[in-house]
Structure 1
Amino acid sequence: MFEGHDPYLVALSVAIASLGGYTGFALAARIRNTPGVSNRVLLAGAAAFLAVGIWTMHFVGMLAAPLPPDTVYLVLPTIVSFLICALVVGISLFFVSVGEPSLRRVASSAVLLGVGIASMHYVGIHGLAGSFGIVHDRSMVLLSILVAIVTAYGGLRAFLAQQEGVRLIVSSIVFGVAVSGMHYTAMLGMHFEPLTGEGDHHLGGSLAASQQILSIVVALLCFVIAAGFLLSLVPDPRRQAQAPAAAEPVAIPAVPATAEPVALAATSSPRPVAPLG
């Protein structure tokens, strides 16, 4: 699966997906304590960081792959691939956040999200242009879609769980490994074939970007994800205000003592008995 790939960029792709997942899930954990319009802003932020994390992971993985040296990236399919990712992530998170998150609702959202992630991948793949053709193994395509759906289901469950602490870290790492696994599973079933005629694959006067330009864009997105990750580590002031109130013991008012028990004690003491005789 990783033959010919740059191991450092492969590790970076997994880390980017995990950081994007952590930031998105951390924002989701703050939704329950944030009412009104801010709730929707956090939902949009969670969807944005998850989408950017998934999309950036994909292109870091592409930079890690042993592509032909004359490979360029068509701008339009590359932008469309990001829009697909952002759209399906936003719709899926909104769908599971409205109403009761039943098994049917989460499963249908996972199918939508998984197929959307796979579509993002293959649209981005066919944005590659050069003196080659691209061939896919159908069985690996189906396997990658299945992996994407299972990953999407786990990600939505982690989003709904609104986890914190160690469980949030573990969920983010698992999410990053799983969504990266979908990418490299699909890459395993992809092969390049040299073109017999002249001309470049899909490059007919279309606007294209070199791998160096893509590297700059990916680096900027990595910076955005890292900044979002650091901001997600800032404690929520609402949660800090609620924590002392919940931990503070409730004071029980003291009942003022009355003089009646003392008087009763005085009257109930035995009287001296006079001696007989």
Structure 2
Amino acid sequence: MTAAADATHLRAHPLARGGLADPRTALHVGTPPSPQAEVSTNPSAVPVISAFNDVAQGLPVHAYAKGDLLYQADAPATALFYLEAGLVALELNTPKPRIGALAGPGDVIGALTPGCGGYLESAVALSGEVAVRVLDERARAELPAAELATLIARAAGARLAALTQALEDGEHPVPARVARAFLRLGSRFGQGLADGTVRLTLPVTHDTLAAMVGAARETTTAVVADMRRLGLLEGTRGSYRMRPAELTEYALEATLSAT
């Protein structure tokens, strides 16, 4: 393991210790993930820069267990992390647990803001095993400058979009926030089914959802129960089936009723 990767194994995160669902994303180091073992991913998240793919495929795969830190907020930002398998929470540096976004296969996270000095968030493994390739300064030097800039710009743009959505959610009532969170997770990680529903298989619990939407766990649990009662959501932590059109309407009605 590189020094950059080794230095990030700091501590187990409390959200990951707090009963996250068993993952569906196990991967043996150095072995390509099977379709059954991989968190489903929207193909648009996978980089299409050929030089990056060539460099990344030549790097070793590092595995992180559930609760491990890939990197910590404010630590020197020295590496990019290309996620090959598993699920990672990007946690904001706030007094209470707050997740700005979830990252999965194909995402690039880490040192996305040259000149800032430190990582802007902490990256915590939510899956039982997260597989990444670490692009340190040496590996990044092998990329053409223009392609490296494009890679970082795309990844930083995705983070900016996620943070913008999180800010927008803050102006909505909790039921709308939870519905919007499920809709985004379904769009990014879900599998569309013939009947119009979306299957979402992720190691996400009510604690994780609460940290994503900035609400108490008890409030989040009550909202999820209401969604189940209305038939908008089926399943439990780790395996859900949702109705996107109805969830969208639910979020809109919740917002309108709060104004």
TM-score, structure 1 as length reference: 0.27
Greater relative CO, 1 or 2 (CA 8 Å, sep 6+): 1
Higher strand share: 2
Question: If you compute each CA radius of gyration, which structure gives the higher value, 1 or 2?
Answer: 1
- Normalised to the residue count of structure 2, the TM-score between the two structures is 0.28
Higher helix share: 1
